[in-house]
Amino acid sequence: MAGLFGLFATGCTVPPNTAPVSSKDAFIDSVLSTLTIEDKAGEMTQLTLDMVCVGKPGKVEEPHRLDPDKLEHVLVDLKVGSILNCAGHAYPPEQWHEFISGIQSKAAEKPSGIPVLYGIDAIHGTTYTTGGVLGPQQLGLAATWDTTLVRKFAENAAQEVLASGIPWNFSPVLDVARDARWPRFWETFGEAPKLVSDMGVSMVKGYQEGPSPIAACLKHYVGYSRPLSGKDRTPAWIPERQLREIFLPPFAAAVKAGAATVMVNSGETNGIPVHADRHILTDILRDELGFKGLVVSDWEDIRYLFKRHMVATDYKDAIEMAIHAGIDMSMVPTDTLFPVLLAELVHEGRIAESRIDESVRRILGVKYDRSLFETGGMPPALVDYPDKVRLEGTAARAALESITLLKNEGQHAIYPDQPILPIGGSGRILVTGPTANSLNALNGGWTGTWQGRNPKYNTPGRPTAVESIRAVFGEDRIALAELDMEFGQADIDAIVRSLSPRTTQCAVVFLGEMPYTEFMGNVETIELFQNQQDLVRAIHATGVPIIGVYVGGRPRTHHHIEPLMDAFIMAYLPGDYGARAIADVLSGDFNPSGRLPFTWPRHPSSHLTHDCKHTELNGDGFNPQYTFGSGLSYSPVQTTELKILTGETANMGDTITVEVTLENKGIRSTTETVILYSQDRVASITPSVDELAAYKQVVVPGGATTTVSLDVSTRELGLIGRDNAYRIEPGTFGLRVKDQTAEFELIGPQ
């Protein structure tokens, strides 16, 4: 039986005596009315691609191909409604089309005929489509402070994802990064709830409102990024007041922007696994935030309620617990028991069918919005696959804008009248360090494979950092001393023997980490690797100036060697176009404009953020290696004045407008990010030293003076009170841009 869907897929007329479908809700209701409990349980099930391929999960036979018998069992017998992921590595568009077409053709044979909703982790471009455009990871995108660019990048990514036949993307990550130990730090937009919110909204709109819309998925709701130990999927202790103040706002903003789906935090918060927390998943997400879309579990997390968290007695108990908490779809992903047990729970009366209907209605809603009922979920024609050349420019621009110059204090040994950066002259340049000649290092995790470590799946033809440096500075000028992550003293000694300030203009030392994600990136310390510190010390001892370039996903502490480097650049994980971006910044072809979206700690045990409390300033005070918002340019812009144009008092609900005067002290045009902080002088809850209030980018020509205005709504100057409710309190507020400050009085009732 083709099912109700068949009427729409084939363009058949509606049979006599059948009311025409006039709206989304009416259509979904009509589909839902035809489904059995088993159909509904299948719709709520998501399995990984491995489960329908030849071979075993985790050991799929090469070349990867669909298994007809498994397809029949999973899609027709079990009526599974969603498939995700690759089966271990990226595929070319042609192979994706084979997979998606085969899956959807078999899904059409179900009694319901409902298409499969396919999902993928395309987190910095089409991470699992061979040859796709890969831009910076989220932390690097945040360093651009350019929400328009981020939205365009997401639009472009959506075009390639959808062209591969996939309508659902598990992105963006809206976790707020407060602890550099956490191995998924680089997947975030940094430490400031406002910046994370703005970037997240831009990415959601880019995915869902662009020329090729796909469903966005907000990850990982909520509190995932603050485990007490700093290690992935370990317990978090976050009082609800802080949860609402720091971690919830990005999700609230993205829900308001229309995000279609949400993925749940794998961990536990305050002793309660989030997958079993009705207060978080229903009371807050549904009732307070008004989220109407689909909530999907993370990988195997319902099963983990009894395997890891020990709050359920068995799998069936765990399913009952999660569904009642508010889960709509289980990312199972490698067993076929879930739909069977879920149907049993309904037949036994332990879960009401009306509760199941709520979830299935949401799932069908996402499928409807993504036009799966019209297309059958079939991929578009390969001849319509987007031209990569049209999409590369945005990714390359994002890489350029992300590069953050944090130090530029030295001078050339050979050309003492020039600063160390940009590199001028014609002398010999040594390039070394373990991340200098690795495309994997530039891209990070979720690139070709889950961990992003296999060079077999790198984008053909994309250069490493040293290859781009050679292209920009000339082959004859560059000497490469290649190192892997495990290099030792003998390797360092060999490099030092080749160096002399008389013959080497400078050394560009590539520091950082190789790819990882999730628990594979857990560490015992965030101090920079000892061999990398030894390398810097040894080169410094030769008298050759050092330019450090850090490629990695979290800030490693390096305060012992930081003074030994004449310049220091944070490159983040800039993607396939990051190599040329780094080279263009080193050469001065691009005037750097990136700004840190996090606070770089000076010591491994220091995790202060820009919005720390006044009591945290005791002792050594706030003394990070680099502050949130740090970043230099080759033509420095000075902030000379800050004025409040709207007066010294404001009423509740008013918008405060400030004017900032900027003066470019150099000769080059500079893109300056003006960052405005607010300070609540006295509050009923201990106020932060600073709060990010507003920011704006402006181009200041060389030698010019200009003004820029920024607006701050007094509605955004509130706090989460002792009753866990948002409130705005009257009193004195400060505003600051760099060293320029002003104050105003907020008056009126609370």
Give me the residue label for tokens 């409040």. 644
Of 447, 493, 443, the C-alpha closest to 464 is: 443
Confidence of residue 9 (pLDDT cuts 50, 70, 90): very low
How far is it, in rounded angstroms, from Cα 424 to Cα 431?
A: 15
In eight-state DSSP terms, residue 411 is: B
| Contact of 305 with 21, CB cutoff 8 Å | no
User: H helices of 589-709, where?
Assistant: none
Of 96, 88, 81, the C-alpha closest to 50 is: 88
Give yes or no: 576 in active site.
no
Length of the chain: 750
Of 333, 362, 399, 405, the C-alpha closest to 567 is: 405
Q: Is 699 helix (H, G, I), strand (E, B) or coil?
A: strand
How far is it, in rounded angstroms, from Cα 151 to Cα 156?
A: 9
For 188, the token pair is 């975030």
Angle at CA of residue 45, ends 44 and 51, nearest 5°: 165
Q: Kindly tell me if the per-residue pLDDT of 267 is higher than 70.
A: yes
Mean pLDDT for 537-560 is 97
Of 379, 367, 158, the C-alpha closest to 261 is: 367
Q: Kindly tell me if the per-residue pLDDT of 21 is higher than 70.
A: no
User: H helices of 135-181, where?
Assistant: 138-144, 147-163
Q: H or E stretch including 650?
A: strand 649-651
How far is it, in rounded angstroms, from Cα 40 to Cα 38?
A: 5
Of 15-29, 294-308, 502-516, 674-688, the one with minimum mean pLDDT is 15-29
How far is it, in rounded angstroms, from Cα 299 to Cα 85?
A: 11
Q: What is the pLDDT of residues 270-327, one digit of tens each?
A: 999 999 999 999 999 999 999 999 999 999 999 999 999 999 999 999 999 999 999 9
Range list of β-strands (E), 306-372: 330-331
**DSSP conformation letters of 279-319:** IIIIIIIIIIT---SEEE--TTTTTHHHHTS--SSSHHHHH
Q: Kindly tell me if the per-residue pLDDT of 393 is higher than 60.
A: yes
Quote the percentage of the chain above a pLDDT of 90.
94
Q: Kindly tell me if the per-residue pLDDT of 399 is higher than 60.
A: yes
Mean pLDDT for 396-425 is 86
Range list of β-strands (E), 496-648: 504-512, 546-551, 567-572, 637-644
Quote the percentage of the chain above a pLDDT of 70.
96
- Give Cβ neighbours of residue 484 (< 8 Å, ≥ 6 apart): 434
Q: What is the pLDDT of residues 462-500, one digit of tens each?
A: 999 999 999 999 999 999 999 999 999 999 999 999 999
Q: H or E stretch including 686?
A: none
Q: Kindly tell me if the per-residue pLDDT of 10 is higher than 60.
A: no
Q: Kindly tell me if the per-residue pLDDT of 160 is higher than 50.
A: yes
Q: H or E stretch including 499?
A: none
For 162, the token pair is 């959808």
For 624, the token pair is 């990070």
Beta pairing class for 82-84 and 117-120: parallel
Q: Is the dihedral of CA 651, 653, 654, 659 positive or negative?
A: positive
Confidence of residue 419 (pLDDT cuts 50, 70, 90): confident
Which residue of the set 298, 576, 680, 690 is catalytic?
298
Q: What is the pLDDT of residues 707-734, one digit of tens each?
A: 999 999 999 999 999 999 999 999 999 9
How far is it, in rounded angstroms, from Cα 564 to Cα 750?
A: 52
Q: Kindly tell me if the per-residue pLDDT of 7 is higher than 80.
A: no
pTM attached to this predicted model: 0.96
The edge-to-edge listing of strands for the beta sheet with 567-572 is 404-408, 567-572, 546-551, 504-512, 428-433, 478-482
Mean pLDDT for 204-210 is 97
Determine the longest span between alpha carbons in the chain, in angstroms.
92
The reported pLDDT for the residue numbered 414 is: 54
Mean pLDDT for 425-453 is 97
Helix axes 315-325, 337-347, angle to 10 degrees: 70
Q: For the chain, what is the mean pLDDT?
A: 95
How far is it, in rounded angstroms, from Cα 98 to Cα 239?
A: 48
Q: Is 603 helix (H, G, I), strand (E, B) or coil?
A: coil
In single-letter form, the type of residue at position 341 comes to: L
| Contact of 517 with 446, CB cutoff 8 Å | yes
Mean pLDDT for 510-529 is 97
Q: What is the pLDDT of residues 94-136, one digit of tens each?
A: 999 999 999 999 999 999 999 999 999 999 999 999 999 999 9
Q: Where in the chain is the domain with CATH 3.40.50.1700?
A: 394-617
**How far from chain centre, in Å, is Cα 74?**
32
- 394-617 under CATH 3.40.50.1700, yes or no: yes
The residues pairing with 694 across neighbouring beta strands, listed in sequence order, are 676
Of 416, 419, 400, 418, the C-alpha closest to 408 is: 419
Q: Where in the chain is the domain with CATH 2.60.40.10?
A: 637-747
How far is it, in rounded angstroms, from Cα 456 to Cα 440?
A: 10
Q: Is 11 helix (H, G, I), strand (E, B) or coil?
A: coil
Structurally, at CATH architecture level, domain 637-747 sits in Sandwich (2.60)
In single-letter form, the type of residue at position 177 comes to: A
For 629, the token pair is 């918002």
How far is it, in rounded angstroms, from Cα 631 to Cα 18?
A: 64
Q: Is 546 helix (H, G, I), strand (E, B) or coil?
A: strand
Q: Which residue has the higher pLDDT, 203 or 410?
A: 203
How far is it, in rounded angstroms, from Cα 15 to Cα 155?
A: 39
Give me the residue label for tokens 């994997």. 440
